[in-house]
Structure formats: C-alpha cells, structure tokens
Amino acid sequence: MTLQLTVITLLVVMLIALWRACIGPNVFDRVLAANLFGTKTVLLIAAISYLHGSPDFLDIALVYALINYISVVGVLRITELRNEHAPGDRRG
Amino acid sequence: MMLDWVSGVLLLVGSFLLLTGALGFLRFADFYARIHACGVTETLATSCILLGLLIQSDSAVPQFKLLLILLFVLLSSPTSSHALAKAAWNAGVRPRDNRGKQPLPLPPGEH
Amino acid sequence: MELAVNIVLLSLLVTTAAALVLVRGLLASIMLTSIYGLLSASFFVIMDAVDVAFTEAAVGAGVSPLLLLLSVAVIGRHEARNAGARPLFAVLLVGITGALLIVGTLDMPAFGRADAPAHLHVAPRYLLLSGEETGIPNVVTSVLASYRAYDTLGEVIVIFTAGVAVILILASGTHRGSARPHSAPVDTKDPHTILQVVSKTMIPFMLLFAFYVQFHGDYGPGGGFQAGVIFASGIILYGLLYGLPAICRVIRPPVVELCSALGVLVYGVTGILSMLQGRPFLDYSVLADDPIRAQQIGIMVIELGVGITVASVLIVIYYAFANQFETNGN
C-alpha cells in the first residue's frame, strides 16, 4: 500500500517539476527541473520494479543514476563558455 | 512483519520529504531558494525510499543494485546542485528576497 | 494502478511536447527534450519493454541532450525570430500529415489484440523457439543480433555514416583530420575541483557498467548500443571537466576514428566468414560445431562490433563539437 502511495507521490512531484520546467522563469530553473525529474524517474522505476516484481528494471534506474548528472555538467561548461565569449551578457 | 513496518515508514517519510521539496521548488520566489529546497530534501528522501525498497526485497542482486543506485545518487545529486548553482552564479543570477523583487546584499568582494 | 500510472505518464508526455513547441529559448527546449526522454523511458518500463527503455534512458535522456547542448554552445542559444516565416504553410503541412497519420491508425487493430498482425507473423516463433535455437534468454537480443542481424547491420552503418558526416562537416577547413588538441586546457582560474573529484570516482563505475551491459545483454536488458552510449558518456564527462587536450591524450582522435570503422568491420567480417564456408551471410552456424554455441559466439561478436562503433562515433562527434567551441573561445 505504501508503495502505491510512493508511486503517486512521485508522479505528483514529476508534475510539479514539469510545471516549473514550463514556466521557468530563467533557464537554470528548467535545468534544475530536468535534474529533479531525473532523480524522480530513478525512484519511480525502482518503485515500479517492486510493484511488478521484476528486478531487471533496476538496471535502467542504475543507468539514470549514473548519467543523469552529465547534462548538468554540460550546462555548467556552456555558461562558462558564453561568459568567455560575451562578458557583458549578464542576463540569466 | 516488523521489517514491513520499517519499510512502510521509510517509504512514507521519503514521500513526505519529496512532497515538501517539490512544494518549495514550486513556491519559492528565488532561484537559490528553490535549488536549496530540492537539493536538501532530495538526498534524504532518496535514501529513505531506496532503503525502504531494499528492506522489501529478499534476494541479493536487487539489493546490491539498489545500494549502487543509492551510492550514485548520493554522489551525483549534491554535486549537480553545486554545479548548477555555480553555473547560475557565473551567468549572473543573484539572490533575491522572498518576493523575488529586491536583490539581496552580497558579501564584500562579490559582485 | 498500472493503467492510472500510464494515463498520468502519457498526459505528462503530451504536456511536455506542447511546452516544447511553445518555449523559445534553445536551452529550455533541450531541458524539456531531456524530460521527454525520461518520461518515455518510464512509460516503456511500465509497458515491459525493458530494452527500449534502456536505450531511451541512455540516448534520449542522457547523450542526446548533451549533444544538443554542445551544438548550442557552437551556434548560440537563441532561436532566430524569423524561424517560422511562413507559419500558415507550416501549420497546413503539419495538419495534413497529422490527419493522415490519424486516419492510418484507424485501420490498426486494438492495442494488445491477440490477432494483430504483429502477433501472427514471425513473433510467435521467436518467442517460442529463440531460447532453444540460440540458447539466449533475452528474446530481444536474439532477435536483434541473430534473426534480424541484417537490420542491425544497417543500423550500425547508419551510425557510422553519421559519425563520418559530422567529421566531414565540422572538421573541414583548417582543422582537417578531425579534432586535434589545438586549444588551451579548461581555464585554470576556476578548476571545478569538486566536480572533478566526484566525476573521477564515478567514471570508472560508468565504464565498468558499460562492460556489464555489453556482456550481460544476453541475459538482461542491454547490449551493444546501450553499452556504447554509456561508455561514451563516461569519456565525454571526463572531457567536459578536464578539457579536450586532456581527453585527447587519453584516447587519441585517430584511434577513435579507426575504432568507429573497426566495429562495422568486425560485424561485416563475421558475416563474410559464414559466406566463405558456403553458408548465407551472417549465418553463425559455421563459427562452432555446436549450433547453439555458434549462435552465442556470433551474437557476442557482433554485439561487440556494435558497441565499439557506437562508443567511438559518439566520442568522435564530441571531439568535433568540442574542437569547434574550444577553439572559438580562444
């Protein structure tokens, strides 16, 4: 029963993250939302694999846990590069 | 039986923490407040939920995989919050007050 | 429960797609694309399509946002204002295509019907006999790498071609010979110590996990495609944090270029070996005396070819992009 509750909570949190990703306001909110979405997906897949009783799904959660953070590092590098290109541009 | 209870409580605590974090992420007016809300709750909530699931399973391989997932999330989640805050700061996002209107005073030496 | 989760996930998917069309900033679109990938992967997991979910996890949510970010770094992050110069024409075109697609779905059998064409042709045979014929528990792997090995060869060649195209377009002119380490290392004022330390602990696990996915694909979800993507992600992460010259010292660009062709070669040679013995192309039965053992060897070898090609092509693409923006920066 609590497992179902956890799945529902995860879906609600994903909805909130998606809402934040849609309204912004600045681009880092969207990155944060995508990142939050990623960790919630890890949890959702883990929880669903227990609902199903098929532990194969955990491999997918493991992939996410490993590569979720690459795109955040990518964003960091890109903001740095933009600063080098245009030091005057200080909008978010 | 006892373990079922422990697992249920862990899952509930994790879900509650997730909801609080998401609420902060939705409602706070300032970017750094939002990253704080979900960055702080995320690690404990993830630990609770994954441990709750771990207690429920009875074979070793899924337990090992869950522990690995937990390890990676504990490593990567705070680090990506850090990276993101750093990226935002580099791009010129500055902390604002609770209504998101006034910029807050910065420590000396920063601009 | 499952139905409810499906409905919620699909509505989230539609919302994301709508938002993706409406937002203007390119970085915002990339982030929504990544969310879209995550959602479709969860959806595939619930549909029990574990291998597809695996690919979507690694490609749709992991590497493709990263490649898009790299291209945004090269071209700038704002969409041109006149991007939709003829909106009416575009709407008309999209509307007609969409209507045709919907009309097409009217003929389709209901979802999950037992007498749908997909369940009548070869699928029952694969499901019933693949375990006996190939000795591999994961049906997806045996279909992909043995029954449908031609198609997979085609896919690998498409990936290889994409890599060659990126090299031809991005590494032309003065930087011929693809990415060479011309640029300075990542700026030393701000060395990202925390990220470097954490990534250094994670990268070995990523590479190890890639090998696990590669060689465990016969038994669980995974295989060459996914393993290649995960391996390349580890390498790209290193490159992002330590700079292009550092990663080029670890894996030299000519070596990766060679490897991207080597994977296709391994695949093709396996096929030609069976032709030399008078059997059809990609018939693995010549590789060993026992037919099941031969199937297993054949599948392992071509999966290895797939993995090598996918990983090297992604690394080659990363080198080409990184070379662009790191030299532009200096």
Q: How confident is the model at residue C94 (pLDDT cuts 50, 70, 90)?
A: very high
Instruction: Among C52-66, C114-128, C303-317, name the most confident range.
Output: C303-317
**CA C95 to CA C99: how far, in whole Å?**
6
pTM for this entry: 0.88
In a domain, B69, yes or no: yes
The pLDDT of residue C78: 65
Asked if residues C33 and C67 have their Cβ atoms less than 8 Å apart, the reply is no
**CA B82 to CA B75: how far, in whole Å?**
11
**CA C275 to CA C266: how far, in whole Å?**
15
The CATH number of the domain covering residues in C1-108: 1.20.120.1200
In a domain, B106, yes or no: no
CB–CB contacts below 8 A, A to C: 165
Q: Which of residues 168-207 of C touch B (CB under 8 A)?
A: 192, 194-195, 198-199, 201-202, 205
* Helices A2-23 and B2-27: angle between axes, nearest 10 degrees: 10
CB burial of residue C6 (10 Å; 0-12, 13-18, 19+): middle
Tokens standing for A30? Answer: 């969207």
Residue listed under structure tokens 């920063």: B110
Tokens standing for A88? Answer: 């005057």
Q: Which residue has the higher pLDDT, C171 or C4?
A: C4
Query: What are the percentages of helix, strand and coil residues in chain C, rounded to 5?
Result: 80, 0, 20
Peptide bond into A55 cis (omega under 30): no
Of all residues in chain C, the one with the smallest CA distance to B81 is: C195
Angle CA(B2)–CA(B7)–CA(B12) in degrees, nearest 5? 125
Instruction: With residue A27 as reference, give the H or E element that holds it.
Output: helix A27-52
Q: Which residue has the higher pLDDT, B104 or A26?
A: A26
Q: Which residue has the higher pLDDT, C260 or C114?
A: C260
Q: What are chain B's partners, defined as 3 or more CB pairs within 8 angstroms?
A: A, C
Question: C198 and B75 in contact by Cβ < 8 A?
Answer: yes
Q: Does C230 touch chain A (CB under 8 A)?
A: yes
Write the pLDDT tens digit of every residue in C51-76. Answer: 888 888 888 888 888 888 888 877 77
Average pLDDT over all residues of chain C: 84
Q: CATH 1.20.120.1200 region(s) of chain C?
A: 1-108
Q: Does A10 touch chain C (CB under 8 A)?
A: no
Q: C-chain residues within 8 Å CB-CB of A67?
A: 57-58, 61-63, 206, 230, 233
**CA C227 to CA A48: how far, in whole Å?**
23
Question: B35 and A32 in contact by Cβ < 8 A?
Answer: yes
Q: What is the mean pLDDT of residues B40-68?
A: 89
Asked if residues C205 and B72 have their Cβ atoms less than 8 Å apart, the reply is yes
DSSP codes of every residue in C221-242:
S--HHHHHHHHHHHHHHHHHHH
Fill in the amino acid letter for C44: F
* Helices C291-329 and C149-170: angle between axes, nearest 10 degrees: 20
Of all residues in chain C, the one with the smallest CA distance to B69 is: C205
Question: C195 and B82 in contact by Cβ < 8 A?
Answer: yes
Of all residues in chain B, the one with the smallest CA distance to A62 is: B69
Write the pLDDT tens digit of every residue in A26-48. Answer: 888 888 998 888 899 999 999 98
In a domain, B108, yes or no: no
In a domain, B95, yes or no: no
In a domain, B109, yes or no: no
Of all residues in chain C, the one with the smallest CA distance to B75 is: C198
Task: Determine the structural domain holding residue B77 and report its residue range.
Answer: 2-90
Peptide bond into C137 cis (omega under 30): no
B47-to-A37, A53, B65, B83, C312 alpha-carbon distances in Å:
16, 21, 14, 21, 35
In a domain, B111, yes or no: no
Question: C233 and A70 in contact by Cβ < 8 A?
Answer: yes
Give domain limits for chain A: 2-85
In a domain, B98, yes or no: no
In a domain, B25, yes or no: yes
Of all residues in chain C, the one with the smallest CA distance to B71 is: C202
Of all residues in chain A, the one with the smallest CA distance to C54 is: A60
User: Which of A43, A48, A63 is the best substitution to test chain B (most B C-beta atoms within 10 A)?
Assistant: A43
Asked if residues A83 and C187 have their Cβ atoms less than 8 Å apart, the reply is no
Residue listed under structure tokens 């097409």: C104
Q: A-chain residues within 8 Å CB-CB of B5?
A: none
DSSP codes of every residue in B22-64:
HHHHHH-SSHHHHHHHHHHHHHHHHHHHHHHHHHH--SHHHHH
ipTM of the complex as predicted: 0.87
C222-to-A45, A71, C58, C134, C302 alpha-carbon distances in Å:
16, 22, 10, 17, 14
Q: How many domains does chain B have?
A: 1
pLDDT at C207 over 50: yes
Q: A-chain residues within 8 Å CB-CB of B21?
A: 13
Q: A-chain residues within 8 Å CB-CB of B49?
A: 6, 43, 46-47
Reference C211, options C198, C195, C224; nearest CA is: C224
Least confident of A15-24, C15-24, C111-120: C111-120
DSSP structure class, residue B98: T
Q: Which of residues 1-60 of B touch C (CB under 8 A)?
A: none
Q: What is the mean pLDDT of residues C241-268?
A: 90
